[in-house]
Amino acid sequence: GAVVSQHPSWVICKSGTSVKIECRSLDFQATTMFWYRQFPKQSLMLMATSNEGSKATYEQGVEKDKFLINHASLTLSTLTVTSAHPEDSSFYICSADGTSGQETQYFGPGTRLLVL
Amino acid sequence: GENVEQHPSTLSVQEGDSAVIKCTYSDSASNYFPWYKQELGKRPQLIIDIRSNVGEKKDQRIAVTLNKTAKHFSLHITETQPEDSAVYFCAASWVGDDKIIFGKGTRLHILP
């Protein structure tokens, strides 16, 4: 149980285009999902917390107009990188929280984004 | 906010020896401490976790200890094997917030 999928697994795009990444909880409902960014040889940095049916909460320094998050259902959250630039190239990982309270987060397999 | 420090950043141990990774946290309200193992290019995998009402937890070759007074917790891997080579992240979470804050990671090399 507690499987989280992400799509696509990797994407290459031109500078200035937008990229959408999907995060799905396959066998459970996730009231909360999290989006992380990980640069090579660095830790996971939380970008935003996504709650179903409400606006995402962004961490300090993360541009909400650039990284659009939509959590439209209890099993799907999307991250759209708008007007992507080479510095946005990174490994993006989502995770899902099964229930409220102190629960383990289950991670998706990640999406590697390369902006040319 | 919470801050998690992790040491060392790189650790090399001989196969069969033990490895210890240490973390400290700043927020005394934190009460959940998971450890993740991440292989290159893959998702973090939870390997063990501990809650603040417990001082130690063990699962086969892996153990975690927690000292709430000192606000530090450690991961112990005994009888290390080549497949233990990976990056390990400690993390902390606290009451009233689902966020998990990660340490910077420890790259563990198991030497043959």
User: How sure is the predictor about B96, in pLDDT bands with cuts at 50, 70 and 90?
Assistant: low
| Cβ neighbours of B100 in A, within 8 Å | 34, 46, 105
User: Tens digit of pLDDT for each residue in A65-95?
Assistant: 999 999 888 899 999 999 999 999 999 999 9
User: How sure is the predictor about A6, in pLDDT bands with cuts at 50, 70 and 90?
Assistant: very high
Residue A116: which residues within 8 A CB-CB, separation 6 or more? A12, A13, A14, A15, A86
User: Tens digit of pLDDT for each residue in B9-67?
Assistant: 999 999 999 999 999 999 888 998 999 999 988 889 999 999 888 899 999 999 999 99
What is the pLDDT averaged over residues B87-110? 88
User: Measured between alpha carbons, how far is A9 from B29 in angstroms, rounded to an integer?
Assistant: 36
CB distance from B109 to chain A under 8 Å? no
Q: Is the pLDDT reported for residue A2 higher than 90?
A: no
User: Measured between alpha carbons, how far is A84 from A91 in angstroms, rounded to an integer?
Assistant: 14
To test the contact with chain A by mutation, choose from B33, B98, B104 the residue with the greatest count of A C-beta atoms within 10 A, namely B98
What is the pLDDT averaged over residues A43-65? 91
**Cβ-nearest to B46 among A97, A104, A110:** A104
